[in-house]
Amino acid sequence: MTTGTKNLRRREPLTDTQLLVTITVCIFFAMYAAAMLIWGGGFLRPQKVFDLLNDNAYLLIIACGLTTVMICGGIDISVGGVTSLVAMSCVAHMNNGGSVFTGALLALGIGLAFGAVMGYLVAYLEIQPFIVSLAGMFFARGMTTIISVDPIKNANEGFAGLMKTKIEIPWLGYTARNGNLIPARMEIGVVVALVIMVIFLVLLRKTKLGRSFYALGGNQQSALMLGVNVRRTRFLAHLLSGLLAGIAGFVFLMHTGAGNASNAAGAEMNAIASSIIGGTLLSGGVGNVLGTFFGVMTLSTIKSIVVTSGLRDPWWQSITTGAMLCFFILLQSVVLSRRGRHKAHLPAWLRGGAGKQNA
Amino acid sequence: MENGVVLAMRKIGKVFPGVRALHDVDFTLRKGEIHALMGENGAGKSTLIKVLTGVYEKDAGEIYIDGEEGAITIRSPQEALSHGISPVYQEITLCPNLTVAENMYIGRTPGALVNWKQMEQKAGELLRNLNIPARPKQQLGSCSLAVQQMVAIARAVDGDCKVLILDEPTSSLDDKEVEMLFKLMRDLKARGVGIIFVTHFLEQVYAVSDRITVLRNGELVGEYEVGKLPQVELVAKMMGKELESLSVIKKDAQGGARAPETLYEAEGLSSSESRPFDFHIAKGEVNGFTGLLGSGRSESVRAIFGADRVTGGRVKVNGKPVRIAKPYDAMKHGIGYLPEDRKRDGIIADLSVRDNMILAMQVMKGFFHPISRADAEKFADEYIKALEIKTASQDTPVKSLSGGNQQKVILARWLLTHPQYLILDEPTRGIDVGTKTEIQRLVLKLAEEGMSVTFISSEIEEMLRTCSRLIVMRDRHIVGELTGGELTQEQVMHTIAGGGN
């Protein structure tokens, strides 16, 4: 112990969450910078970032909900199905005389209903979240096909107007060959996604509910002893995840403009991958949505890089995603086990000098 | 209520179906006192604590607490807290992924928002006040176990705490950490908090407590001042034998004709759970580890079998140096181990009697050489007869057998592998007297046939009857070895209490 005040003002070492999120952010920027240097072109224009955001706004929304559930130590694989069902229901509703407003309400309603039922099963009847949400996924995918096997194109003028509305940012634009200034364009869905992200950032950090999510994921038994209402907390996590899946369905429809039985195919898996890349641990208690944002961006950037580098066949993206995920989970377990608390069983050459033994 | 008394429990009774867990127990805690609650397994310590913290409801008796008129009722842990009774459990019940400050205040603050600044400031003051070396913003998981324990105590004593219950707080701490914890306990005592200290480390009781209450078989043995109760008397009271009335029990049988050659020998063997120790056993010898609960006897034999992570030491089997790092290594050298907790480590509840029996043998043969159905049935039949296992058929799931018969199934599992050395950890716990003597007889018979056996039991009489050599442990160290004429209850207790030979 040296002088007291100095000691108190010393910077705390990063928490696990901060450490993992920092790693992801650094890797994202490094990767993006490398892409700019190597492939130039599209990557040099700010519009590239907006394109990634436009394409993945719905994924970011889903991933925020999923991150919340994963922080509690749970999982929700129904989100892709719910997104798909919402997109299909909304387009069918709005084409048959519904307004945009009632369509949005329908989206929220379906999302909340799925979240509530699954949350009840998981939290109060204590059924494995994986099984419950697997059932939810099949159910939602099935319902989507019942509404229509064929794709439905949006015919609602109000909604078409909403789809066309883009936020233009002239100073981030570029000048095309013919001399016209093309401003950077961002869809409304991106704004929705970013607002949701900020709300969840605050929710997870500043509210008692948010901290209860972390406590639950850290150690459920302890959380109970510390006075956390474990069941209600778990229920709310699934409810929020369902709600966000509903919103994501609406945003998805705003981006694509059509309902399709294969809407958002594999979105739940991409969302899980994004959360994990963003530093959320599947075992719970660690992670935040800022990391998830960078997880989504990292994943979409790498896919974009794969395409740009000439590997246009779709399987290359899958393979890269797999390799990427593998790289990140390995990195995370190495980093955490070097901190010495998480008992990952690493081979000796990875453990380095960390395995010290007090005699 | 008397002056200075902070908690009085009077004539507490608690009955579980078929068991009288507590009967007429009195307990008195004074202000600024550290009061040790002692007793062996099943004495009723934890039941008493659970009655006090509202986990169980008492069936009889009254509880009074300082500052409140009349007897109080405690129906839930929350109610216990509201009366100023705060427990800190052996297992740390905090969240390692949250910060120290959060762990101290989560679930206790009003409103929907977290005021980080205020929370961290309050936590910082309390930690400084209690001299706990933790920083509010630190992630709890980065603190040592002792500091985590102290943070849990800080959470418990914040606010209006009159009674602090420490249930085995030192079981996973090393000596230096224990000293830190004791300092905190003395600090709290000086502030007038009454502390109930549950532990099975004798030395720690004498280092820090003012008074001792001893329970045995759910009844109060007595309340004593620490200075007036020598260790050996405390051990006698816990075990239920008055020193004067101890009778010398002769063994029914000696461990067979002992061959002089050593079968197993360990030097400085240590594991993640046990301190280094030396040990050896001869062919056909029956020896045993004895000591109070938690003295390290199970941890020692687990180290021999490689059940915990072995960290050092030299081992010889039949005079040849070998390496035993995991149970499979031990099995290859003919060592079998019957674990203490048969429900957790031993039986596989849903498998049949036959499948449970051939398990170890199958592992030895390798999974690519399956034991044929006919062989398995033959072996199972043979051992069901030999050990008189009471089961409907060999296809019966093991979980539907009685405790004693389950134990015999596991015994059969090991006998099938024809071990030269068998370790039995509490093989007779929770089984009826008849089966107990059967197992004891079996142990002696196996030894006569040349097998070496190490036997552990909480019941001294049983150990004295079966073992020809006893290794006595206290506080995770071997404190003595008794053979021949020294094998008496009195001598064992003296050795446990630190009298030596």
Spell out the domain ranges in chain A.
47-168+185-335
Angle, vertex CA A75, rays to CA A88 and CA A65, nearest 5 = 55
Q: Which of A206, A221, A358 is the closest to B114 by Cβ?
A: A206
Q: 3-class SS at B49? A: helix
Spatial separation of the C-alpha atoms in residues A306 and A302, rounded to whole Å: 6
Are residues B192 and B270 both part of a single domain? Answer: no
pLDDT score of A354 more than 60: no
Are residues B18 and B108 both part of a single domain? Answer: yes
Architecture (CATH level 2) of domain A47-168+185-335: Orthogonal Bundle (1.10)
pTM: 0.74
Task: Write out the residues of chain B at the interface with chain A, using a CB-CB cutoff of 8 A.
Answer: 77, 89, 92-99, 102-103, 106-109, 111-114, 116, 124, 135, 137-139, 141-142, 174, 311
Q: Nearest-CA distance from A304 to chain B in Å?
A: 35
How does pLDDT run across A250-289, given as a tens digit for each residue?
A: 999 999 988 888 888 889 999 999 999 999 988 889 999 9
- Quick check: is B219 in a domain? yes
Q: What is the number of other CB atoms lying within 10 angstroms of the CB of residue B225? A: 10
Contact of A78 with A114, CB cutoff 8 Å:
yes
Would the CB atoms of A219 and B141 count as touching at under 8 Å? no
Q: Which of A12, A208, A357 is the closest to B113 by Cβ?
A: A208
Chain B touched by A15 (CB under 8 Å):
yes
- Quick check: is B476 in a domain? yes
- Quick check: is B43 in a domain? yes
Q: Which of B86, B98, B129 to mutate to test the interface with A (most CBs of A within 10 A)?
A: B98
pLDDT at residue A344, rounded to an integer: 42
CATH number at residue B265: 3.40.50.300
Q: Which of B207, B239, B271 is the endpoint of a domain? A: B239
Domains in chain B: how many in total? 2
- Torsion sign over Cα B470, B474, B480, B485: negative
Q: 3-class SS at B22? A: strand
Contact of B481 with B447, CB cutoff 8 Å:
no
pLDDT at residue A179, rounded to an integer: 75
Would the CB atoms of B138 and A16 count as touching at under 8 Å? no
- Quick check: is B423 in a domain? no
pLDDT at residue A9, rounded to an integer: 53
Predicted ipTM? Answer: 0.82
Q: Which of B212, B239, B266 is the endpoint of a domain? A: B239
Q: Which of B239, B262, B277 is the endpoint of a domain? A: B239
- Quick check: is B436 in a domain? no
Are residues B200 and B52 both part of a single domain? Answer: yes
Q: Nearest-CA distance from A341 to chain B in Å?
A: 7
- Quick check: is B145 in a domain? yes
Are residues B232 and B270 both part of a single domain? Answer: no
Strands A258-259 and A152-153: antiparallel
- Quick check: is B192 in a domain? yes
Give B-chain residues touching A71 at CB under 8 angstroms: none
Give B-chain residues touching A217 at CB under 8 angstroms: 97
Residue whose tokens read 């992570």: B309
pLDDT at residue B434, rounded to an integer: 65
Are residues B221 and B267 both part of a single domain? Answer: no
Nearest to A223 by CA among A237, A15, A233, B110: A233
Q: Show pLDDT as tens, one digit a residue, over chain B (501 residues).
A: 667 889 999 999 998 776 778 889 999 999 999 999 988 766 788 889 989 988 888 899 999 998 888 888 888 887 888 888 988 887 778 898 999 999 999 888 888 888 999 999 999 999 998 888 899 999 998 888 888 888 999 998 887 788 999 988 887 777 788 888 899 999 999 988 999 999 877 788 888 999 999 998 888 999 999 888 888 788 888 877 554 433 333 343 444 444 568 889 899 888 888 888 899 898 888 888 888 777 888 888 889 998 888 888 899 998 889 998 888 889 888 898 888 777 777 788 888 889 888 888 888 887 788 888 888 888 888 888 888 888 888 888 888 777 778 888 888 888 888 889 999 888 877 666 667 777 888 888 888 888 899 988 877 778 888 888 889 888 888 888 888 878 888 888 888 887 544
Q: What is the number of other CB atoms lying within 10 angstroms of the CB of residue B121? A: 13
Are residues B228 and B258 both part of a single domain? Answer: no
Name residues 130-149 of chain A within 8 A of B (Cβ). none
- Quick check: is B454 in a domain? no
Give B-chain residues touching A223 at CB under 8 angstroms: 95
What is the residue range of B105's domain?
Answer: 5-239
B286 half-sphere exposure, CB direction, 13 A CA radius:
28
Are residues B32 and B140 both part of a single domain? Answer: yes
Are residues B213 and B289 both part of a single domain? Answer: no
